[in-house]
Amino acid sequence: MAYKAPEGKGYADVAAHFRTLIKSGELAPGDSLPSVTEIRDQFGVASKTVSRALAVLKSEGLVTSRGSLGTVVEKSPIVITGADRLARMEKNGLRYAPGETSSGHRVMRRSVYDPEVCTALNMEPGDEAVIRIRVFRQDDKPTSVGISFYPPRTTNAVPELAEDVRMVTQFDKLYTERTGREVMKGQRVAHSRQASQDELHALEIDAAPYSAVSVMVTTVTFHDDEEALAYWEDVYAPGARVPMGE
């Protein structure tokens, strides 16, 4: 069967629809998907197409079969990036997925020496930035640490970023409202590296001091038409399933 039928929807379209609902939090862990018949009628496809779409979602660890309950969303199926959270909030206003919370919120001003951060934000080593840190949790288990860096040019426009409180409005929206400049998201990049002791502590990983624990990290830079505005880094607990952009 073709990836997508010449007319109408193919199995990949059906899988993408439910993948998006799971990623956005509109379908929560334990929620049942519609029956094969209901999905078939909704998309106007054959039962075989629906079965193939569900098989794709199962292979991705997003859903599972639960007997009389049919196909349900897996427990804690995916951990999304900070940039994806912005997209989710833009779409449906949901800051957190069902069962998700955050803890360990910290806001500080620090001199930055990390070469990747300095390069991304066009800063000199030792320049000061506002750093916001939080730990995301699913069913009270740490899944990722979010770290965001904001240079003075951004905090001058959005001083709320420097306040030790949770932001109730997305920083990019506030920046655009106050400057008239559109905020654009750069390319998200993923890589692996050794976790720091602070990251191991935040993720509640019990490891011997200075032991090597590999973690996956994603980074993204936000900018307007003139300069870089923010650098976000997400550090994921070992074993986390992180969706990459299509």
Domain positions in the chain: 11-73, 82-236
**Residue 242 clears pLDDT 90, i.e. is over it:** no
Give the mean pLDDT of 196-218: 88
Tokens of 130: 């506002």
CATH of 82-236, one of 3.40.718.10, 3.60.20.10, 3.40.1410.10, 3.30.365.10: 3.40.1410.10
Tokens of 104: 């360990």
Give the model's confidence band at 6: pLDDT under 50 very low, under 70 low, under 90 confident, else very high: very low
CB 179 within 8 A of CB 226: no
Query: Which pLDDT score is estimated for 70?
Result: 87
Question: Which DSSP state fits 208?
Answer: -
Query: Which pLDDT score is estimated for 24?
Result: 76
Give the mean pLDDT of 117-123: 95
Query: Which pLDDT score is estimated for 156?
Result: 96
Give the model's confidence band at 140: pLDDT under 50 very low, under 70 low, under 90 confident, else very high: confident
Phi, psi of 192 (to 5 degrees): -115, 150
CATH of 11-73, one of 3.20.20.140, 1.10.540.10, 1.10.1040.50, 1.10.10.10: 1.10.10.10
Tokens of 142: 């740490």
CB 56 within 8 A of CB 14: no
Give the mean pLDDT of 71-87: 74
Q: In this prediction, what percent of the chain has a pLDDT beyond 70?
A: 91
Average pLDDT, the chain: 86
| Coil vs helix vs strand at 145 | strand
**Residue 2 clears pLDDT 50, i.e. is over it:** no
CB 21 within 8 A of CB 73: no
CA 222 from centroid of its chain's CA atoms: 15
Query: Which pLDDT score is estimated for 79?
Result: 74
**Residue 7 clears pLDDT 60, i.e. is over it:** no
**Residue 246 clears pLDDT 50, i.e. is over it:** no
Q: How far apart are CA 244 and CA 83, in angstroms?
A: 11
What does DSSP say about strands 100-111 and 71-73: parallel, antiparallel, or unpaired? unpaired
Give the mean pLDDT of 86-111: 80
Give the model's confidence band at 111: pLDDT under 50 very low, under 70 low, under 90 confident, else very high: very high
Query: Which pLDDT score is estimated for 99?
Result: 74
End-to-end CA distance of the chain: 21
The helix-helix angle for 47-59 and 36-43 (nearest 10°) equals 110
**Residue 229 clears pLDDT 60, i.e. is over it:** yes
Give the predicted TM-score (pTM) of the model: 0.74
